[in-house]
A and B are shown apart, each in its own frame.
Chain A
Amino acid sequence: MNNASLLPIMALLPFLGALVPGLMIRAGRTACATFTAVPTILALVMLGLCAPDVFRGEVLQIEFEWLPALGLSVSFFLDGLGLLFAGMILFVGLLITLYARFYLSGDDPAGQFFTYLLLFQGAMLGIVLSNNILLLLIFWELTSLSSFLLIGYWTHLPEGRQGARMALTVTGMGGLSMIAGMLILGNIAGSYELTDILAAGDAIKSSDYYLPALLLILGGAFTKSAQFPFHFWLPHAMAAPTPVSAYLHSATMVKAGVFLMARMWPALAGTDAWFYAVGTVGLITMVLGALIALFKDDLKALLAFSTVSHLGLLTMMLGFGTEAAAIGAVFHIINHLTFKAALFMTAGIVDHEAHTRDIKRLGGLRHLMPITFVIAVIAGLSMAGIPLFNGFLSKELMLEEAAHTDWRGSHYAVPILATLGALLSVAYSFRFISHTFFGPVRDDYPAKPHDPNFGMWAAPGLLVVLVLLIGIFPQATVGPLVELAATAVVGHELHHWHDLKIWHGVTPALIMSAIAVLGGLILLALHRPLERLWNAVPRPEAKVIFDHVVGWAVAGSDWIAHKTHNGAISRYLAIFVVSTLALGAIAASGGGLAPATRALLPVPPLAWIGFLLLVVAAIAVVLLHRERFLSLILISIVGLGVSGGFVYLSAPDLALTQISVETVTIMLMLLALHFLPKSTPAESGIFRRVRDGAIALGVGGAVASLTFAFLLRDFSSISEFHLTQSKVGGGGTNVVNVILVDFRGYDTFGEIIVLGIAGLIIYALMHALLDGPAARRLRNWEFTQERSRDRHPMLMVIATRVMLPMTAMVGVYIFLRGHNEPGGGFVAGLIIAIALLMQYMASGFGWAQERQRIEYHAMIGWGVAIAGLTGTAAWLFGKPFLTSSFGYFHIPPIEEFELATAMAFDLGVFLTVLGAVMLMLYSLSRIARYAGETVNTAAMDYDPSQGIRETTEEER
């Protein structure tokens, strides 16, 4: 089997493994930790199987298609750099699992912890194995997310939550910038496969888009690797449990940025832009981080800033862009990992045992915690860069490179600053050791410190052994690995490889090193006065700034979003209308208008009168709209005017429909008005009214001119077909009705459903209202208005009763003639509804309801069902939905008549319309009864047939 096929399994293992700890925790922390280690160990074994191939110089590659449209594939490869990082991730992961087993207390949800840890491990492994930069981006963001979870692990601690959010914000920002950078890069290279991109280095560097791509990608790398000015999140991430700090925030995740720069080296490095951007930022970060670290009292904060400083060192080395610097960087990655992880674990042990990690409250621990002390000293000396410890070797390489680096013509800037960084590094390292472990034993530790059990110091112990081994036998231990990884970084065979040695003779680097050690010791001796000075000098506090920026952003966003979305419906509408108007005007001005082809018709006096009536009524509505009753009447005049217009323009069907709709609507609205205030309060000022008036006039003018524009122009339309086919194809001479029930019966089907739903909603709304505060208001409703004393006048009762059969007849007639003459189910339904409405108005709801046998819900249901089933009946004949059929029948003694399936459909329309209107009426009357309206049982106030003047009203 090809070893390359192990790569996806390796990358996937931690994710699969992440499912286990959440369950295994039920078997205890040890079992849980053991099962967390299993996928790590398996992956490590697989990596071991692949290692020989890589050392032979092969690059293992495997690819599966995922999203070819984008160029995203599940594509992994393993070369020297990947091998180094994968090894580190898995190896340290294993140690951290062991350490965390003993570090976490029984109260902590360890199952969650190990799940998150494995998620992170998988994500990190994915980054270093990805051969597709889009895939890499996915894993990249996953590390941000899992780090968010791990930092916020102790959810009850505000620092944890804030630190988690800060880390997510900063690294998330970088991740987004990197997305853009990677997309540009892929576009330049013509592929998102890393191996293709690395091969296209020259094309990339000469591209116009090189600089934006570089800067955007560096945005991702710098934020992840906590480079200035994005370094501030890392110290706050220290709110995480110490195993997390050791793993994510010193050994692996923060190195992802460094890894990325190393990975992209062949494609991006070697230009001036690269040197100045990467080198300078690294240099500043190195010095600044070391300086701040010196004055931190929290052990973890000290280590965090030291990590920032070392990440700066690595970044700077990669920024130099030389082969030797690349070698040094790779070597330092290994060394930093060993000593810094050990130091973090040491700090965690101190915290765990002494219950504090404030350096000011510690000291003298060397006697109480001898093992911890030894570990801390070895790791600390390595961090300081003392010979025989591995940190020394890579720091020498750094100083060597710095010594002959030219920065904008200056030969001294880089070496001096690099020495300064090293010097500060010596100072804080010694401070870490001396202030924690040396000095007198105190009697005020929060808890009695002692060495932890073996499980807890085993991991750092192993790491410091490595520190020494590498420090003393560099070539034998890691030499080949460094060579291999450095080769992978630069992308070609190394031209200047020298075996790693402890002694290079007296070189500039050695002298700089010596200065650093001496200077560092002096600084440490002067620490107290310097600290006073440091505390006296005002400094920007990153967290405060960050919190302010986020605070402002949140408050500003809140302001913008809520000021504009505050529910002011009239403003929403004004914006909608004005922008529609503007867009319409812009659109119209972009095209020309064909010449008018129709002449204006003469306007007879009758039309003028109708027109004037309309205008006057409309203006009156505007002027009198606060008098609601009056404006309803005026609206009905407008409606009638429009109906008259339809008659005048020979559209009897429309006129008929318009009149019936108008009547029903006005009647229902009158009933509803009963429960509403009778006048509208004046709420808007003069400015608003003028503004709204202007908008209304503008829109009215626009609609009028648009209508005018197309009324003056002939156009051919599909209606010709409808006219010719109405009789022969649809079986009716009334083309409007045939359109409604046949040509476009489907539309009608939809519209009756709309009407039916409206009925249902009014019913549901009525119920909802009667459960809420509106119900209380209704209960206390005072019918203060002057009311007529005869609610159900005899004259009206008799009149409506007489009209009922007549109206019903008209309804049936209108229904039946619909297919050939103006009429149809819709109008018929409304007419019958009007007839019934009149009964309700005349005799009251209680009386009428008793005589009503069909449930309105059912009427709507039957209507929709009949219409729908009529349509589906066509399926039986293999025809599409709503295909109509008609025939002429002759049954003596009746004249020949026509039957059409469309009439059944029309019956559905009829029933739905009737049901919906009546359900609305029913809902209104329910409200009325709620409001304390009395229910009458007699038909009229004074019933002559009873002979006595009596009003039968009973409270309900």
Chain B
Amino acid sequence: MSHWIIAPVILPALLAPLIGFVMRHDKVLSRSASVAGCVALVVIALGLLNMAADGTVHVYRLGDWPAPFGIVLVLDRLSALMVLLTSVLALIVLLHVIGTDWDQRGRHFHALYQFQLMGICGAFLTGDAFNLFVFFEVLLIASYGLMIHGGGQARLRAGLQYVVMNLGGSTLFLFALGTLYAATGTLNIADLAVKVREIPLEDAAILRVAAILLLVVFAIKAALFPVQFWLPGTYANAPAPVAALFAIMTKVGAYAILRFYTVIFGPDVPAIGDMPELWIKIGALITIAVGAFGVLGARRLMPLIAFSVVGSMGTLLLAIAVFTPQSVTAALYYLLHSTFAAAALFLIGDLVTTRRGASADSLLPAPPIANNGLLAAAFFIAAIGMAGMPPISGFLGKLLILDAFQGQAHQAIAWAAILVTSLMVIVGFARAGSLIFWKAEGVVAVDGHGALTETPAPVPVAGPSQPNVGIAFVAIGACLSMLFLLSIFAGPVTSYLTATSAELFDPAAYVDAVLSGGN
């Protein structure tokens, strides 16, 4: 048993109090510690991925109690991948935060950031449903703090929505777990996988309720219709780098759905059948549409990006909902892609917004900004990534998903939804980009009647004073490179993902590893 499995939880959990209570008065010190923590997390995650890549399921028994009586952590390909994704994203976003001095706009940023990472990693690694609840709480409460970091009226109002909605979700989570325990007498995921398959449909009413309640809980996290309403306001008003980090938070919901509805409530479970598949599909289709409407109709850049995240979550869950190994592979690839694409957009949006001064992120003409060309290029790449245009990974992701639907139920409607909304997203992003980056070239001033005077040779306004903003550009560059890397190494990546989804659909190895006394 390797103690490294728990390192992604313990490292930030111990680092956070250290930063929060010992280093909080010094900027450089807390930043250094936070970066060091993130770098270490990346290294650990790489090591874990390497451990998991051979297909061995590693189990870590907390307190040395045997499963299902104690809590276990389980490292398999999927959890290793998600932890790696989290750590890489966290490092990139942290660099941006440092480059833009976001951490100085409120208290305890780095401590909350580390706690946030602890919560996310814990949720990915746990092999216990109740422990998942606990880590949901950790990541949620940390995210409440990050969400309202820096304050401001709009942000606090949006933050309240976020908190209220998630408190509702947490309450339901408890109900669902109670119901699940009443139906099966256990909350260990592997044990549940066994027990659930023993319950006949005639006795399954309680179990089915538990399954659907859990689905709603995870749907809130994953922003699936009809519980997606919180996302646009939250992401658009959160500090932009936090919104970028939140790109992984929605994926926690997607991960939980993936884990629970394959290993526990898989398509082969007689008591459940295709119930999750049906409802996720319906929700996902509407979610995709909601996202596309929001992108096309956006009046401000940040909500536009936020709605594009909603749309991408719809696409992701639509792919998951097919519940075949092929579709899950596609979904996982798209998951990796959409995380970085969303993060890149938020980071770019942050620089654009701060540079536009009073115009902020409104989609109205304003004078050109500093680094207009560079930011325009970055926005262009990130936007085609999010819209699913080639050559970067979004296109491959969408192709994989469309391909996974070939010959499956609801192929036509799924294809139509994905393709039509792609067009809406393309148009929405093209409008926003041309307005912010191109139209600005013609704007110098607005006369009394609001008409624009156009001139071909404008003078860019100076950006705000951000001495280290170069680091932020490095962060954006890193985020975009991830999209290119995902695209170039699509072959090796998907072969890992294929193995991952195979593992999910044949949970025997998982169950054996957890329930047997072995390592």
Contacts and interface: CB of A to CB of B under 8 A. Distances in A.
A710 B183 contact: yes
Contact of B400 (A70, A152, A765): A70
Given A576-B226, A760-B112, A179 B427 contact: no
Given A768-B150, A857-B21, A760 B182 contact: no
Contact of B6 (A554, A572, A721, A881): A881
A107 interface: yes
A23 to B, nearest CB: 13
Contact of A768 (B106, B384, B402): B106
B391 interface: yes
B336 to A, nearest CB: 14
A722 interface: yes
A864 B13 contact: yes
Interface string A683-719: 0000000000000000000010010011001011110
**Best-buried of A164, A573, A591, A871 by chain B (most CB within 10 Å):** A591
Contact of B165 (A134, A569, A722, A865): A569
Contacts of B69: 718, 721-722, 725, 743
Nearest to A762: B145
B182 A746 contact: no
Contact of B419 (A180, A576, A757): A180
Interface in B105-163: 106-108, 111-112, 115, 118-119, 122, 130-131, 134-135, 137-138, 141-142, 144-145, 148-153, 156-158, 160-161
Nearest to B19: A861
B216 A580 contact: yes
Contacts of B446: none
The dominant DSSP class at the A interface is helix
A254 interface: no
A760 B17 CA distance: 10
B21 to A, nearest CB: 3
Interface string A575-604: 111011001101111111110000000000
B302 interface: no
Contact of B427 (A71, A165, A761, A771): A165
Contacts of B490: 66-67, 72
A858 interface: yes
Contacts of B1: 880
**Best-buried of B107, B279, B424 by chain A (most CB within 10 Å):** B107
Contacts of A158: 439, 442
Contacts of A754: 134, 137-138, 141
A713 B182 CA distance: 9
Nearest to A868: B14
Contacts of B508: none
B323 interface: no
Interface string A742-774: 111111011101101110110111011101110
B22 interface: yes
B204 A152 contact: no
Interface stretch (B36-44, B82-90, B252-260, B289-297): B289-297
A562 interface: yes
A572 B230 CA distance: 8
B10 A881 contact: yes
Contacts of B148: 761, 764-765, 768
B161 A567 contact: yes
Contact of B399 (A70, A567, A703, A772): A70
Contacts of B439: 155, 158, 161
A184 B111 CA distance: 51
A588 B157 CA distance: 37
A165 B426 CA distance: 9
Interface stretch (A166-174, A415-423, A488-496): A166-174
Contact of B208 (A71, A591, A874): A591
Interface string B40-81: 000000000000000000001111110011110000000000
B469 interface: no
B112 A72 contact: no
B161 A569 contact: yes
A588 B148 CA distance: 39
B494 interface: yes
Contacts of B273: 590
B164 A569 contact: yes
Contact of A583 (B6, B279, B391, B423): B279
A397 interface: no
B245 interface: no
B517 interface: no
Nearest to A566: B233
B175 A703 contact: yes
Contact of B182 (A183, A710, A745): A710
A137 interface: yes
Contacts, number: 397
B426 A744 contact: no
B138 A764 contact: no
A560 B310 CA distance: 14
A571 B164 CA distance: 12
Contacts of B152: 768, 772
A567 B233 contact: yes
Query: Interface residues of B toward A: which range?
Result: 35 or more
B241 interface: no
Contacts of A411: none
Given A580-B216, A753-B118, A857-B24, A592 B13 contact: no
A862 B16 CA distance: 11
A594 B63 contact: no
Interface stretch (B91-99, B343-351, B430-438): B430-438
Contact of B14 (A138, A569, A715, A865): A865
Contact of B106 (A583, A767, A881, A882): A767
B516 interface: no
A134 to B, nearest CB: 6
B58 to A, nearest CB: 12
Interface string A117-145: 00000000000000000100111011011
A757 B142 contact: yes
B457 interface: yes
A576 B3 contact: no
B204 A860 contact: no
Given A579-B216, A883-B63, A860 B402 contact: no
B184 to A, nearest CB: 7
Contacts of B298: 558, 561
A554 B296 contact: yes
A588 B115 contact: no
A67 B290 CA distance: 31
Nearest to A68: B491
A69 interface: yes
A177 interface: yes
Given A69-B329, A557-B424, A718-B186, A156 B454 contact: yes
B284 interface: no
A594 B203 contact: yes
Given A138-B390, A179-B419, A861-B18, A556 B201 contact: no
Contact of B495 (A69, A559, A765, A865): A69
Nearest to B456: A156
5 contacts: A138-B391, A173-B423, A557-B424, A761-B145, A881-B63
Interface of B: 1, 3, 6, 10, 13-14, 16-18, 20-22, 24, 60-65, 68-71, 106-108, 111-112, 115, 118-119, 122, 130-131, 134-135, 137-138, 141-142, 144-145, 148-153, 156-158, 160-161, 164-165, 168, 172, 175, 179, 181-186, 188, 191, 201-209, 211-213, 215-216, 220, 226-227, 229-230, 232-233, 271, 273, 275, 279, 290, 292-299, 307, 326, 329, 373, 380, 384, 389-391, 395-396, 398-400, 402-403, 406-407, 415, 419-420, 422-424, 426-428, 430-431, 434, 437-439, 441-442, 454-457, 490-491, 494-495, 497-498
Given A69-B495, A158-B442, 11 more contacts: A69-B326, A141-B395, A180-B402, A564-B290, A575-B226, A750-B138, A751-B137, A754-B137, A768-B151, A772-B153, A868-B10
